Amino acid sequence: MIILGIETSCDETALCLLETRGAGASFECRTLSSLVHSQAELHSAYGGVYPNLAKREHGKNIIPLLHKLFIDSEALLRNATAPEASVEAHSSAGIADEHFNKVIDSFRTELSGQNPELFKAFSHADFLKSITGIDRIAVTEGPGLEPALWVGISLARMLSALWDVPLFPVNHMEGHVLGSLLPSEATNGAWHRLFDAQFPSIALLISGGHTELVKVKALRDYEIIGETKDDAVGEAYDKAARLLGLSYPGGPHLAELAHKAWEEKIPAPVKLPRPMISSKDLDFSFSGLKTAVLYAVRAAPKDPNGSLTEDFKKGLAHEFQEAVKETLDSKLKAGIEKAGARSIIVGGGVSANHVLRKKFEETAKEFDIPIFLPSRHVSGDNALMIALAGALHSDARTPVVLRAQGTKRIDEKS
């Protein structure tokens, strides 16, 4: 089976073609192509993601990215298990002009005003007529920024009508869980089985929009047992980084500064709080930590130009990361015990952080259970994890009317 994955929940336009075979324990997959176009640089001027700009950019970029996706995966697609799968760019075989025009007309009233960039690009995408052999489309329905989510959903609906293939809505956070069970995203033609996570597992999801502890009772069976009461951990990284004068998204830059403090043995200029570390529940809170960084920055000695000294910035970045690390780790440990977890899954953009990964690996060792951490490609937002989640859905054609669901929870049924 060949699945097209579409992800536009935030500031990454992402598409993937994934091929799968088998089911249950013998399920295997291989990536034909997985592309991500980041808008981060554009949003850095606003210090965060600006939803309507994200929507416009997705609308402008997603069709050219789709074209590139099919060109990139052409060789593997020709050898795909489904013998009819093929893409012959610019050939006239495949979908008749009449059908293509009919699909465009049927979406004109709805989309030409709502999403003109996408609608225009789709109307001129002649390469779509020569594509056959896609078996299903998986698209992120939420959580995320609704204007941005709508772009992926609208494209998915148009392609579903054009190719007459079923559509599967995917929860973005479930994508982060499943993505961490993928041994590789390599596009070298090799087939992979998912890591055999022992259930129940505890998933620690740490991203720009979410911080959650999820009990994974089985593949696709989730229960949120802890979550942030205010800011997400990635958001706290980004806000603290901004206070230190670093550009958006600040997480990786702050981590770099913290590393320098460690290398140069620069001490912490202040002690930051470890929020909710001794609370009995599994919830998190990061807005107080961000405020403590703000106060520390205000009170800090400045150089003659009124700027923070480099040593202060490094020392504070390191202390911030230590506070985050100790907080996340203590909640993870409590979560393992509460869920009776037999394995740990970590997912979301912040899981790219090496210091945090190392700590979680030590915790897994302490509990003598396996840990599954995402590869670099899969830790950030991507469509491979969305295609994978779509592949693991049941085979039934979903009768749902798709809509963006900005606050959809991982344990909420469709």
Q: Which residues bind Zn ion (CB under 5 A)?
A: 207, 381
Question: Shortest distance, CB of residue 379 to Zn ion, whole angstroms?
Answer: 9
What's the rounded Cα separation, in Å, for the pair 365 and 355?
A: 16
Rank residues 14 and 297 by Cβ distance to Zn ion and give the closer one.
14
How far out from the chain centre does Cα 27 lie?
A: 22
Told to check if 169 binds ligand KG4 by CB under 6 A, we report no
Told to check if 275 binds ligand KG4 by CB under 6 A, we report no
Rank residues 250 and 315 by Cβ distance to ligand KG4 and give the closer one.
250
> Hey, what's the torsion of the CAs at 88, 94, 99, 101, to 10 degrees?
20
| Residues 378/184, Cβ–Cβ less than 8 Å | no
Rank residues 226 and 234 by Cβ distance to ligand KG4 and give the closer one.
234
Rank residues 7 and 283 by Cβ distance to ligand KG4 and give the closer one.
7
| Residues 296/268, Cβ–Cβ less than 8 Å | no
8-state DSSP, 88: -
Told to check if 390 binds ligand KG4 by CB under 6 A, we report no
Question: Shortest distance, CB of residue 176 to ligand KG4, whole angstroms?
Answer: 7
Told to check if 252 binds ligand KG4 by CB under 6 A, we report yes
222 binds, among ligand KG4, Zn ion, none (CB under 5 to 8 A by kind): none
Question: Shortest distance, CB of residue 224 to Zn ion, whole angstroms?
Answer: 16
Rank residues 19 and 381 by Cβ distance to ligand KG4 and give the closer one.
381
231 binds, among Zn ion, ligand KG4, none (CB under 5 to 8 A by kind): none
Rank residues 209 and 335 by Cβ distance to Zn ion and give the closer one.
209
Rank residues 54 and 128 by Cβ distance to ligand KG4 and give the closer one.
54
Give which of 162, 55, 65, 37 is closest to 116, Cα–Cα.
55
Single out the residue of 34, 115, 123, 353 in contact with ligand KG4 (rule: CB under 6 A).
353
Give which of 330, 323, 318, 329 is closest to 272, Cα–Cα.
323
Rank residues 182 and 255 by Cβ distance to ligand KG4 and give the closer one.
255
Neighbours of 163 (CB within 10 A): 20
Told to check if 350 binds ligand KG4 by CB under 6 A, we report yes
Question: Shortest distance, CB of residue 350 to ligand KG4, whole angstroms?
Answer: 4
Question: Shortest distance, CB of residue 348 to Zn ion, whole angstroms?
Answer: 5
- Residue 371, judged by CB atoms within 10 A of its CB (0-12, 13-18, 19+), counts as buried
Told to check if 166 binds ligand KG4 by CB under 6 A, we report no
Give the count of residues interacting with ligand KG4 (CB under 6 A): 19
| Residues 42/57, Cβ–Cβ less than 8 Å | yes
Rank residues 207 and 228 by Cβ distance to Zn ion and give the closer one.
207
352 binds, among ligand KG4, Zn ion, none (CB under 5 to 8 A by kind): ligand KG4
Distances (CA, A) of 32 to 257, 354, 377: 36, 28, 14
Amino acid at 411: D
**What is the phi-psi region of residue 121: left when phi exceeds 0, alpha when psi lies from -120 to 50, beta otherwise?**
alpha
Give which of 30, 33, 13 is closest to 22, Cα–Cα.
30
Neighbours of 18 (CB within 10 A): 27
Told to check if 380 binds ligand KG4 by CB under 6 A, we report yes
59 binds, among Zn ion, ligand KG4, none (CB under 5 to 8 A by kind): none
Told to check if 238 binds ligand KG4 by CB under 6 A, we report yes
What's the rounded Cα separation, in Å, for the pair 7 and 15?
A: 6
Told to check if 211 binds ligand KG4 by CB under 6 A, we report no
Q: In terms of DSSP H, where are the helices of 166-309?
A: 172-179, 233-243, 251-263, 287-299
Contact positions toward ligand KG4, by CB under 6 A? 10, 207-209, 234, 237-238, 249-252, 255, 348-350, 352-353, 380-381
